Amino acid sequence: MNTVLITGGGSGIGWKLADVQAAHPEVITRKCDLTNEAERIALVDWISADHPETNILVNNAGIQQRFNLLKADVRNNWDYYLQEIKANEEATIHLAILFSQLFAEKEQATIVNVSSGLAIIPMVISPIYSASKAAVHAFTMALRHQLSETAIKVIEILPPAVNTDLGGTGLHNNGEDADEFADSVFRDMQAGKEEIGFAHSAKVLEMSRKEINETVAGMYQKMKAEIE
């Protein structure tokens, strides 16, 4: 039996993944601020001491902000923007390393990093979010290779826009159905896929560089009014 820790499981994609997973292995959740280094370490120590049977980490927590780079008050309010880097990139990378070391002696374990289709085709009006997810994408590839001689499997989920409250209520109402997305992800995981997209993000994984550039430009033209 697997025991799973899902970060960001209180809402959105994390909630749906936890909801689907609950029908199968045990799910462990704990409230903590993942932007805080000490709380991340405390989380791992809690798992090690109280739930040593845990063998799957789903690194899902994240936030998304849309803003105009020329209007962002990064002189007086950098902490606001830094939170996105801490939540999406720093926390994911730190936890992945901590749990890699915790899982190293297990006979079977899995680390799942949730990045985004925007790791490949950045959404220009969410520049830090896109950059942070691109970092997670690159890190996950490195992690997979470094752990290739261990029993730890490394999976990356690259969601498309999914109908959740990521970035704010109502911003993704036209996104993919969260239940259908979660069901598809679990089917792909069971099939042994290491990079998992859905709907548009599955197509993104197969795009040429030219197609990526054209898609980024087209998305920006459609969305730039949101930050003007």
Give 77's DSSP letter: -
CA distance 197 to 199: 7
**Catalytic member of 80, 81, 129, 220:** 129
Instruction: State how far the Cα of 43 lies from the Cα of 27, in Å rounded to an integer.
Output: 15
Q: How far apart are CA 201 and CA 145, in angstroms?
A: 23
Q: Is 220 a known active-site residue?
A: no
Taking the C-alpha atoms of residue 16 and residue 203, their distance in angstroms, rounded to an integer, is 22
Which amino acid belongs to residue 96?
A: A
- Catalytically annotated residues: 129
